[in-house]
A and B are shown apart, each in its own frame.
Chain A
Amino acid sequence: MATAAHAGHRLERRYARLGVFLIAPTIVVFSLVIVYPLLAAIYLSFFSVYTPTLEGEFTGADNYIRLLTNAAFWNSLITTLIWTVGTLSLQIVFGVGMALLLHQNLWFRSLARSLVLFPYFVSTVVAVLVWRWLFNDLYGAINHGLMQLGIMDMPLDWLGTMPNAMIGVILVGAWKYFPFVVIAVLARLQTIPEHLYEAAKIDGAGPIARFFDVTLPQLRSVLVVIILLRAIWDFKEFDLIYLLTGGGPVTSTQTLSLLVYQEAFALNEMGQAAAYSIGMMLVMLVFMLVYIRRTAREA
C-alpha cells in the first residue's frame, strides 16, 4: 500500500517534469519575442533614441512628462475613443441585427452567411484598396451611386476632409469587423431553447417583446465578451486607419497606434514613441484585466 502510494507520487512528479519539459519551448519563444521586447519597451521609454543611428541617452522621466503635458497624446486618445466607440457601436448594432436575420429561415442561408463573413477574413490591405476606390472622389462608385439615387448632387471628398474622414474610417471598420459579432451571436442564438419562445408566445408576447424578454437576456453574457474583445481590438487598430487616411487630414484620424508609429519611424523619436506605447497599453490594461478576469472566472 505504502509503496503503491510512493510509486504514484513518483509518477506524478515525473509527469510534472514532463509537463514542464513540454511547455519549455513555448516559454523560451515567449520570453524571446514577447516578454523581452515588452520589458525593453519600458526600458527604452526612459531614453531619448534617434531612430536612424539608434544612439541615445538616459533622460529619466522626460518622455512621460512630455506625454502628460503635450497635447499630442491626449488628442490621439480622444481620437482613438471616438473611433472605438463609433465603430464598435455600429458593429454591435449591425452584427446583432444581421445575426437575427441570418438565424431565420432564409433562402440560400449558407451562401448569405459566407458572403457576410467574408469581409472579416479578407486582408485589411484588400479592404482598404477596395474602399479607397469606392470612395474615390471623381470616379468612385459611392459618390456616383448616391448621386444617381438623388441623395446628393455634388461628389464628396470622403477621406480628405473632416468629419468625412472619421465617418469613412468608422464605416469601413464597421464593415470589416461586424461579421465577428454576427458569428459569435449566431452561435449563441442557436443554443437558446425553443420552449422559451413558445412560453413567451403563449403569454401573448409579440416579436419585439420576445426579442427584449427572451433573446436579449440570453445574449447578454456573450455580448459583454464581444464588446470587451472588440473594444480592445478596435482600440489598438493600426492597419485599417493607417492605410485609409494615414491619420489625416493632418492628425484628425491619428489614433494612438498611429501616433506611436509616427513618433518612432517618421519623427525618429524611439524613446518618446516607446513612452506613448506604454501609455496606450496602460489605458488598455483596464479592459484587458476585466476580460482576463471574466475568462478566468468562467474557466
Chain B
Amino acid sequence: MRILRKLGFNLFTWILVLLVAFPLVWMILTSLKPQTELFRIPPTWLPETVTFEHYWRLLTETPFLIYFRNSVVLATTTTVFVVVLGAIGAYSLVRFAYRGRETLATLVLFTYLLPSVVLIIPLYLMMVELGLSNTLASLVLAHTTFALPYALWLLRSFMEGVPEDLESAALVDGASRMGAFRDVILPQLLPGIISTALFTFILSWNEYLYALVLVNSDAVRPLTTGVMTMLISAFNIEWSLLMAASVMMSLPLIVVFAFLQSYLTRGFGAGAVKG
C-alpha cells in the first residue's frame, strides 16, 4: 500500500514536471527533424530521421554567429562593468557610515523595479545625441539601467553576510580599509560575486526591448533581436531552423545549469526574495 502510494506520487509529480519541460524537449526534437517531417499531419512525436542540417545551415548560411558574438561581447562587458561597480558600491553601502546612505539604498531598490519603457525613450534620444545609436556601447549603457541596481542589491545582501569581525581583525593588524577589502572581504564575497555575475550575464543575454529600439543593423544585433529578424524576414517560416537557433541560444544557460546551478539558487535566496 505504502509503496503504491509512493509510486503514484512519483508518477504524478514526474508527469507534471515533464509537462513543464515539454516545450523545451519539443524545441530540441523539432530542431533535429528534417523540414519535410515537420509538416506532416498528424505530427511525428519523435523524429523518424535525425538530422543536424539545420544547425549546419544556421552556422554557415545565416548571420547567427555574428549575433552570437555580439551577445557574448555585450553580456560579458555589461557583467564585468556592473559587477566591479556593484562590488565596490556594495562595500561602501554596507560598511561605511555617511549621510544619505539609506536614501541611496532605497533609490537602488526603486530603480530595480522601474519599468524599462519609462527609460527607453530618453535613452534612445540620449544615444542619438551622443552618436552612439547602433553600437554595442549603447546597449551596454542601456543594460546598466537594470543590471546595476540588480547587482548592487544582490551584492549588498551578500556583503551583509560577510562577518564584520574579519574586517576589524585585519584593520587591527594594520591593514588599510582597501587592503582589508582586497584580502579579506573579496575572497569571502566570491561566491556572491559569481552568483551576481551569472544572473547579470543571463539578464543581459536575454534582454530584448533595448536591443529592439537601439540597434538595427545585423553587424551589432545581439541574439534576441537577431533571431527574431530571422523569423520575420523568412519567406516561409522555417521552424526547424528557428528551433535550432533557440537551442544554440540557450547553450550558455545549459552550461550554467549543468555546472553552476547552486550559484543560481543562492542568488535567489540573497537578492530577490526575503521574507
Contact = CB atoms under 8 A, between A and B. Distances in A.
A87 B120 CA distance: 25
B111 A36 contact: no
Interface string A237-272: 011001100000000000011001100110000100
Contacts of B46: none
Interface residues of B, number: 93
Most interface-central of B93, B118, B128, B274 (chain A CB within 10 A): B118
Contacts of B242: 129, 133
Closest 9 CB pairs of A and B: A19-B96, A236-B115, A37-B122, A40-B122, A26-B89, A22-B92, A225-B275, A123-B206, A23-B92
Given A239-B208, A295-B274, A40 B111 contact: no
Interface residues of A, number: 95
Interface stretch (B54-62, B139-147, B188-196): B139-147
Interface SS, A side: helix
Nearest to A222: B275
Interface string B6-19: 00011011101110
Contacts of B177: 15, 18
Given A118-B257, A121-B202, A148 B42 contact: yes
A260 to B, nearest CB: 4
Nearest to A299: B105
A20 B106 contact: no
A130 B113 contact: no
A241 to B, nearest CB: 11
B199 to A, nearest CB: 9
Interface string A1-18: 000000000001001101
Contact of B208 (A117, A226, A243): A243
A134 B239 CA distance: 10
Contacts of A225: 273-275
A29 interface: yes
A236 B205 CA distance: 19
A26 B85 contact: yes
B81 to A, nearest CB: 9
A150 interface: no
A50 interface: no
B89 A139 contact: no
